[in-house]
């Protein structure tokens, strides 16, 4: 059976890599994007673009899908709250249903760093953090929302502290702790995250939990 997945933000940094990986595995991909032309240009004819704001997505748009991947991102610090708002909207749309499964990409801020602390605690103490702290704060709230969500089929991934563009590399999977490689770097590439997400969609090893990944 061919899996059918929808990707919100399919032309973004993470979303486009996920879409390409899914297409290469023979999955049917619906791209929820702001520009259908851009989606076709970036992803080719094997993707079905739906030109629609993420907050205008309705139940009828996703009810035929097996999985919906929330790869929404904003660079506008004043709109960082939209990460939580969109997650809440998607949860409401699928409440009480087994499908579609929701797949969220969280930040690394909610990952544990030992002694009862999380990465967000360290970020909050950094000087001059006004330029970036809003998004980690809101994605931590998104994580808290998911952990308190009932009767929804969901899974989430937190990339490592440094989530950078790049090809797939060897990697290691974790659960709730911030991971580092042998060189002491907490870093993962978009190609690696895309592979891990599509693997999880195909194999469903994690149920109603968050996991993480680091490049070796």
Element (H, E) at 49: strand 47-51
Pair of tokens at residue 155 = 């899974």
User: In whole angstroms, what is the distance from residue 181 CA to residue 189 CA?
Assistant: 13
> In this predicted model, what pLDDT tens digit does every residue of 35-91 receive, in sequence order?
999 999 999 999 999 999 999 999 999 999 999 999 999 878 889 999 999 999 999
149-171: per-residue pLDDT in tens? 999 999 999 999 999 999 999 99
Q: How many degrees, rounded to 5, is the angle at CA 4 between CA 150 and CA 164?
A: 80
pTM: 0.95
Cα–Cα distance for residue pair 213/172, rounded to 1 Å: 6
Location of structure tokens 């139940």: 59
CA 133 to each of CA 128, 154, 177: distance values in angstroms, whole numbers, following the listed order: 9, 26, 20
Q: What is the pLDDT of residues 117-126, one digit of tens each?
A: 999 999 999 9
**Residue 203 pLDDT level (bands cut at 50, 70, 90):** very high
């Amino acid at each position: 059976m061919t899996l059918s997945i929808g990707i919100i933000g399919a032309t973004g940094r993470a979303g486009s890599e996920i879409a390409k990986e899914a297409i290469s595995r023979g999955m049917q991909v619906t791209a929820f994007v702001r520009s259908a032309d851009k989606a076709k240009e970036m992803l080719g004819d094997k993707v079905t673009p739906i030109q629609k704001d993420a907050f205008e997505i309705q139940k009828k748009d996703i009810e035929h899908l097996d999985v919906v991947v929330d790869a929404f991102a904003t660079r506008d610090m004043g709109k960082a709250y939209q990460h939580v708002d969109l997650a809440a909207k998607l949860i409401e749309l699928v409440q009480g249903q087994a499908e579609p499964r929701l797949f969220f990409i969280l930040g690394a801020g909610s990952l544990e760093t030992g002694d009862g602390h999380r990465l967000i605690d360290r970020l909050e103490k950094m000087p001059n953090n006004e330029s970036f702290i809003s998004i980690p704060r809101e994605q931590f709230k998104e994580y808290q929302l998911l952990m308190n969500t009932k009767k929804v089929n969901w899974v989430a991934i937190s990339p490592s502290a440094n989530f950078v563009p790049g090809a797939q590399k060897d990697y290691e999977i974790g659960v709730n702790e911030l991971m580092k490689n042998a060189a002491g770097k907490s870093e993962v590439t978009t190609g690696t995250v895309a592979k891990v997400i599509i693997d999880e969609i195909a194999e469903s090893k994690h149920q109603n939990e968050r996991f993480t990944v680091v490049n070796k």
